[in-house]
Amino acid sequence: MAAKFDDPSSAVNLLVGRGYIEAALTAWTVGDYLYDNGRGGAGFIKRLEPPPPEIWEIRITYPSPFVRIFGRFAEPDTFIATDMHTREFLGPKGSVAWNQACQACDAEWHRLFPSDPPLQGSIVADYITENCDEFPLP
């Protein structure tokens, strides 16, 4: 992910722009309030349907095309980003590209932390302890 972020010719930087991604990451790291999207779902961040389990996405929803940063939580408030893709690349939920992206996140986690499972929880507050709306988890 570092390579994609720093490479001005990467798809996410060319199509979306590093500035938007950086702004989203700033919101996370400085503790901005993270709102749900008002429809009982996730706005800024969302846990994806398993399998594999405990894959999360930070959702950059403007401009278009949108960006998804995949990763997992190591502990509360500690998000480990493994890769990012444009929403266009991923296609509809359940697509081959989407499933491959989730599997790649899982594989990267196990490659990096072979003996450390990701954080598991049942509510949002298990993962993000402050400044975040509660929203349903799949």
Partner 1 sequence: MSSLSLSTFTPNYGFARTRDLAFAAVRNFWKLRQAEGMTQADLAERLGRDKAWVSRKLSGPTNWTLRTFGDLVDAMDGEVEITIADIRNAPSGNYDAYADYGEKQLEKRWQPPQNTSNQGSVFFFQGASGA
Q: Interface with partner 1 by CB under 8 A: which residues?
A: 1-2, 5-6, 17-20, 22-33, 35-39, 43, 61-62, 71, 74-82, 111-113, 115-116, 128-131
Q: How far is the CB of 4 from partner 1 (least distance, A)?
A: 11
Which value, to the nearest 10 degrees, does the dihedral of the CA atoms of residues 42, 98, 23, 125 take?
30
**Which residues lie closer than 8 Å to 45 by C-beta, 6 or more apart?**
28, 34, 56, 57, 58, 59, 79, 128, 132
- Of 8 and 96, nearer to partner 1 (C-beta) is 8
Q: How far is the CB of 50 from partner 1 (least distance, A)?
A: 22
- Of 49 and 113, nearer to partner 1 (C-beta) is 113
Three-state DSSP state, 91: coil
